[in-house]
Amino acid sequence: MNVNVQPHELGCVLEIKAQPGARKAELRGLQAGALKVCVTEVAEKGKANKAIITLLRKMFKLRGSQLEILSGETSSQKKLLIRNVSPDSLVQLLVAHGVTDE
């Protein structure tokens, strides 16, 4: 799997391609090494960012405090810090949720 996951002193960093305003909230595989995350919320006042964090938190069974957007708050390209999760563990979570290369 060619997902772009970087080790971080607090866990790992995952690159995300956000698609706000989608019909349904879901993971749509990988796009250029980034996890494509679709959410129904629109990209205004941080609503889509909150929806992305909520979706990933629920899917991966994490606490909200484990997820933080490091960069790309106002961009579709984001870097997400996932605390206390190793890069290998994250890749296993993605595979378990059916994420594969496009």
* Residue extents of the structural domains in the chain: 5-96
Mean pLDDT across 66-84: 96
> What is the b/e burial string over 57-85, where b = at least 16 CB atoms within 10 angstroms of the residue's CB?
bebbebeeebbebeebeeeeebbbbbeeb
pLDDT tens-digit map of 18-62: 999 999 999 999 999 999 999 999 999 999 999 999 999 999 999
pLDDT in tens, 5-20: 999 999 999 999 999 9
* pTM recorded for the entire structure: 0.92
Arch. (CATH architecture) of 5-96? 2-Layer Sandwich (3.30)
Note the pLDDT of residue 99.
86
pLDDT confidence tier of residue 102, bands split at 50, 70 and 90: low
Q: Is the dihedral of CA 98, 100, 29, 94 positive or negative?
A: positive
